[in-house]
Amino acid sequence: MIVFKNPQRQWLAAAEQERAQLLQQRTIIDNRIAELNQTIRALTPIVQNSEQTINMSVPQLCLKILSFSGAFQTPTQVRDGLAGMGIQINSPNPMAVIHTALGRLVTSGYVESKSVLGVMQFRITVTGRAALQGW
């Protein structure tokens, strides 16, 4: 017995199946676009209103970071704290800027330092806290 399978019927079934898959994908994409539009609408006013200029020097910012904790912190931790505040130091070597600022704070008595296994660590002093509040 010979069975004839119409190739056009197979093409039609394949086209209908692909269309169904694409419509399902489009529904998922449309839903995601709607979610993103909602997120953008919610975040736009917040971002526009949060733009502000920080009128503080790098040493003042380092003091601010050190004031959040009474513990000694490494320059890397200070850098990470600045990044957490959304502050980036635009310099070819931001760690050098942080090291210099911390060194000046030690010289001025606002910060104390110690070396632990060759790694310098810094902590704000009482004088540093008073100076920070005066700024």
pLDDT at 52: 60
Q: Please compute the mean of the pLDDT values over residues 23-37 and round it to a whole number.
A: 94
Mean pLDDT of all residues in 85-104: 92
The per-residue pLDDT for 58 is 92
Higher-pLDDT residue of 85 and 125 is: 125
pLDDT at site 50: 59
pLDDT > 90? residue 72: yes
Give the pLDDT score at 16.
95
Query: Structural domain boundaries of the chain?
Result: 7-51, 58-134
Mean pLDDT along residues 37-61: 79
* pTM of the predicted model as reported, rounded to 2 decimal places: 0.61
What are the structure tokens assigned to 86, written together?
A: 């959304």
The tens digit of pLDDT for each residue in 105-121 reads 999 999 999 999 999 99
First to last CA, the chain: 97
CATH architecture of 58-134: Orthogonal Bundle (1.10)
pLDDT tier at 17 (50, 70, 90 boundaries)?
very high
CA torsion, points 128, 129, 134, 135, in degrees to nearest 10? Answer: 70
Say what the pLDDT of residue 48 is.
72
Q: Assess contact for 122 and 64: CB atoms under 8 A.
A: no
Q: How far is CA 20 from CA 6, 16, 25, 49, 108, in A?
A: 22, 6, 9, 44, 72
